[in-house]
Structure 1
Amino acid sequence: MTNHSTVTLTMTKAFDVEADKVYAAWIEPELMKKWLFTMEMTNKVAKSDAKEGGSWEIVDHRDGKDYRAIGEYRVLDKPNKLVKTFEMPQFSDTVDVLTVSFEPTTSGCNMTFVQKIVVPHEEGWTQVDIDKACKEYHDGSQDGWGMMFEGLKQLVEKGKISYP
């Protein structure tokens, strides 16, 4: 794909647990199923071959439809950093890259999340259209990850997620 833009989303989250625990929630299927993508009640599949070159998958089932997120692990440096791809093939052939790094703090750790979001352009788009799409992809991703990270925080700190 040559007709696209790339937008960078950077988010941070503080945790009152050590990085090992948060790192595990990114790669262990039984933990991924509880917070990653949507929620445990709708996530029907969670797979993870946590090795460099290994794959991961989440399938969420809502309103009679399956939504599949997949990717490949590129870097696994426990408990400091992980890098993986993120794809939703039913919607697009784009591949985003997620980099998650952890820094120890006196009360636990800080997680820094960086997503390189590929924004495909449609034929005939002006720069205004491109800018609008880039903002929508960025803001939509930020909202989605923000909700997921709240669940992740509850999971690793309290052992369960309280859904509204």
Structure 2
Amino acid sequence: MGRYNVENEYVEIQLERLFKVEPELVYQAWTDQRFLKQWFMTTERTNKSIDVNAEQNGSYEIVDVRKGKENVVRGSYVTLDTNAYIVMTIGMPELSDSEDTIEIEIFEREPGITQMIFSYTAYIPRERRLTSLEYKQKKKEYHDSTAHGFEMLFDKLQTTLEEHEEEA
């Protein structure tokens, strides 16, 4: 009976952020090439190219160069509900054939304050050589480092949105 008791092979991360901007601007930050280039998996300084087709089943590709190494990030927009909800995939072809899922809920908490609920789901294959404890530890390390990485990305997103508001 025990052999059918398979552990969940997914890691799920949920983060929430408040931004002092309108929901439209947070939505744009996830779908507009000019915004994405400033914060999402790249920076204006390290970006080699960015191609975004932000429509239902549209795709995106970001090529970022750091320390001479080219990193490619690509995915697709699965669901787009303007200014409210986005489901997209994200993958790094040189690291893995699989794509992870990002879900973003955007809503106005109060005038001028937008809440973003970010959910990330990643498939973590279980290697046969790992014990259950080692596998759980591997998933925990992946969860913690990935959550930390997204928190840092969202700090950059916050700065990008604040700079946009100052220019407006």
TM-score (norm 2): 0.89
AA in 2 matched with 1:63: K
Task: Give the deviation of 1:159 after TM superposition.
Answer: 2.4
The CA distance in 2 between the partners of 1:94 and 1:123, in whole Å, is 19
Once the two structures are TM-superposed, the CA of residue 4 in structure 1 deviates from its matched residue by: 7.5
Which stretch shifts more, 149-158 or 118-127? 118-127
Deviation at 1:89, TM superposition (A): 1.0
Deviation larger for 38-47 or 141-150: 38-47
List 4+ stretches of structure 1 deviating above 6 A.
none
Q: Which residue of 2 aligns with 1:46?
A: 50
Of 117, 125, 128, which residue of structure 2 is paired with 1:123?
Answer: 128
The alignment yields a C-alpha RMSD, in angstroms, of 1.8
Q: 2:78 aligns with which of 74, 77, 82?
A: 74
Show the counterpart of 2:30. 26
Q: How does 1:1-164 map to 2 (within 5 A)?
A: 5-106=9-110, 107-159=112-164
Residues 84-142 of structure 1: CA deviation (Å, up to 9, x unaligned): 00111100112110000112022320000000111122231111121111111111111
TM-score by length of 1: 0.91
Counting aligned pairs with the same residue, the percent is: 32
Gaps of 5+ in 1: none
CA deviations 1:45-104 (Å, max 9, x no partner) are 221111111101111101111111110110000100000001111001121100001120
AA aligned opposite 2:32 = E
Asked which structure has the greater CA Rg, the reply is 2
1:151 maps to amino acid? K
Q: Secondary structure at the match of 1:94?
A: coil
User: In the alignment, residue 144 of structure 1 is paired with which amino acid?
Assistant: G
Give 1:158 deviation, angstroms.
2.2
Amino acid paired to 1:97: T
Q: Is the contact between residue 10 and residue 123 of structure 2 (CA under 8 Å) also seen in structure 1?
A: yes
C-alpha contact 2:76 2:88 (8 A) present in aligned 1: yes
Number of residues of Structure 1 aligned to a counterpart in Structure 2: 159
The answer to whether the 8 A contact 1:30-1:46 is kept is no
Separation in structure 2 between the aligned mates of residue 43 and residue 100 of structure 1, nearest angstrom = 24
Corresponding residue SS for 2:9: strand
